Amino acid sequence: MFSNIITIARRSIQQLVRDRRTIALIIVVPLVIASLIGVSLPNKAVLNQTLPALLAVLILFFGFLLSGISFLRERSQGTRERLMASPVSRGDIIFGYLLGFLLFAILQTLVLFFYTVYIIKIDFMGDLWQIIIFQILIGILAVCLGIFLSAFARNEFQMVQFIPLIIIPQVFICGVLFPVNTQPEWLQWIAKFLPLTYGVDGIKAMMLEGKGLLDIGKEIAVLASYAVVLMALAGISLRRGHVA
Amino acid sequence: MNITAIEIKNLSFNYGKLKVIDDVSLEIAKGISFGLLGSNGAGKTTLIRLMVGLLKPKTGSVFCLGKPPSPATARNIGYMPQLPSLYSELTVYQNIDFFARIYGLRAHNTRNQRVDEVIKLVDLWPKKNVSVSQLSGGMKQRVSLACAIVHNPPLLFLDEPTVGLDPELRVHFWEYFGNLTAAGHTLIVSSHTMDDAAHCQKLIFMREGKVIALGTPDELRGAVGKPNTTLEDAFLYFIRHGEVKSHVQ
């Protein structure tokens, strides 16, 4: 099983590496967005307060987009059918993709984080590597979300429509721009069920209050649970015997 | 020793209310090339997907090499889908190498040797390190075939393998298929051209999800009862005369 996971991860990495334009976009686009945020929020205090939450959003957004579209292409170009007729299991495919995309999600996360810390020069508290580990957890969630939702799209255009449906509402509801407790009660209730709420709470606690991973156990547990459930659901969507 | 590669009993399948496979029963012996012939929408691809295990029967059963299709039986199967189904960013070599790994060719030297061998077999050696996206349709078909045969499976499903191939390459493919059956491999080939049908040792004519005739090309031609009958004439004869497969079984 493990060798199949490595084989699939290796292939998904090979695919992205050979697509140089995509690689360039993976690195450049988050930096452009981070720069725009940095320039548009010249007040350092506001920037320091806002950027940690926006980092969580960007990691979720780019990870979701990358994994969702890549996984969807597996179906649209017919290779999923071929894989499902082979001896690989659903777990091999899901974990293989997770591993492959995770490397790119980590790359994006690191580039984005170091850029905001060393170039935009935001002030933050907390341990750098613990913050990075938490961001990687958000990246894992993003990859799982992308793989799961790709099951509901038939083409890239439909996949992109999930951004205004899944990502943007979370930006408004989950405390990225305004604290959750300033919103109407029913929106606060919805926010409790959205993963980005825990991503934002966790990253703010670490970067603004100097807390460590051990202090944000609840956020880590919720994000990890979301990732596991989404992976299980993605596995169900890949059932052998249901490839049409 | 089991001499049956595929055993299908009372198989039916529908997409929603649309019945695509209608009470098909069939036995395919090992070591032959078996053709599924029919016009577009006759149910050939769905039947192959059911045999491979990509679809589950609504009723009836499929046994592939003596067992219901599963990841365990998949190791002994090669499957070439109707569309090339390749990773377009990867090179010819990388695509074939990926499927070689997936099908368990782990030893580096053996795998390299086998991948090189099939690239030469499908006559793409000069394109070995070229991206699939830069290949013509016929070349992609060849890469797709190479991915299906790289693990040397005893049972091979080829869904319209000759679509888009020029006549010379079509002959080349059928020569290779002949070599495979001579070596004891079983080939199940779908097509809608009678040219392909003539190369099969045994075949079925399909229409609206049903098997309307089963036999060798000679048996099917003979069932029409007229001299110089072509397979195309035989196909039209069976379509016009409904389900008369008992004539040739």
Q: A98-155, pLDDT tens digit by residue?
A: 898 888 888 888 888 888 888 888 888 988 889 989 998 999 899 899 989 988 888 8
Provide, rounded to the nearest whole percent, the portion of chain B with pLDDT above 90: 70
Q: Are A78 and B85 in contact (CB < 8 Å)?
A: yes
For residue A240, the model assigns a pLDDT of: 62
Rg (CA), chain A: 18
In a 13 Å sphere around the CA of B134, the CA atoms on its Cβ side amount to: 10
Residue B26 · residue B60 · CB < 8 Å: no
Residue A113 · residue A34 · CB < 8 Å: no
- Residue finishing a domain among B153, B178, B197: B153
d(CA A110, nearest CA chain B) in Å: 26
- Residue finishing a domain among B92, B123, B153: B153
Cβ-based contacts of A71 with chain B (< 8 Å): none
Cβ-based contacts of B52 with chain A (< 8 Å): 85
Chain B residue with minimal CA distance to A19?
B89
Q: Are B53 and A7 in contact (CB < 8 Å)?
A: no
Given pLDDT bands bounded at 50, 70 and 90, which one contains residue B247? very low
Residues B38 and B117 in one domain: no
**Total number of domains constituting chain A:** 1
Cβ-based contacts of A85 with chain B (< 8 Å): 52-54, 74, 77, 79, 81
- Residue finishing a domain among B153, B170, B194: B153
d(CA B87, CA A169): 34
Using the Cβ of B15 and the Cβ atoms of chain A, whether some distance falls under 8 Å is answered with: yes
Q: Are A15 and B90 in contact (CB < 8 Å)?
A: yes
- The domain of B140 spans 84-153
Using the Cβ of A78 and the Cβ atoms of chain B, whether some distance falls under 8 Å is answered with: yes
Residues B120 and B194 in one domain: no
- Residue predicted with more confidence, B165 or B25: B25
What's the mean per-residue pLDDT of chain B?
90
Residue A224: inside a domain: yes
Residues B161 and B233 in one domain: yes
Q: A200-210, pLDDT tens digit by residue?
A: 999 999 999 99
Residues B181 and B229 in one domain: yes
b (16+ CB within 10 A) / e for B221-247: bebbeeeeeebeebbebbeeeeeebeb
**Total number of domains constituting chain B:** 2
Residues B118 and B224 in one domain: no
Residues B5 and B111 in one domain: no
- Residue predicted with more confidence, A238 or B111: B111
Provide, rounded to the nearest whole percent, the portion of chain B with pLDDT above 70: 96
- The domain of A92 spans 2-237
Residues B132 and B189 in one domain: no
Cβ-based contacts of B54 with chain A (< 8 Å): 81, 84-85, 240-241, 243
Residue A243: inside a domain: no
Residues B160 and B232 in one domain: yes
- Whether B215 has a pLDDT exceeding 90, the answer reads yes
For residue A2, the model assigns a pLDDT of: 84
ipTM beyond 0.90? no
Residues 6+ away with beta carbon under 8 Å from A174? A180, A191, A194, A196, A197, A199, A200
A1-22 average pLDDT score = 89
Between A and B, how many CB-CB pairs are < 8 A?
Answer: 82
Residue A242: inside a domain: no
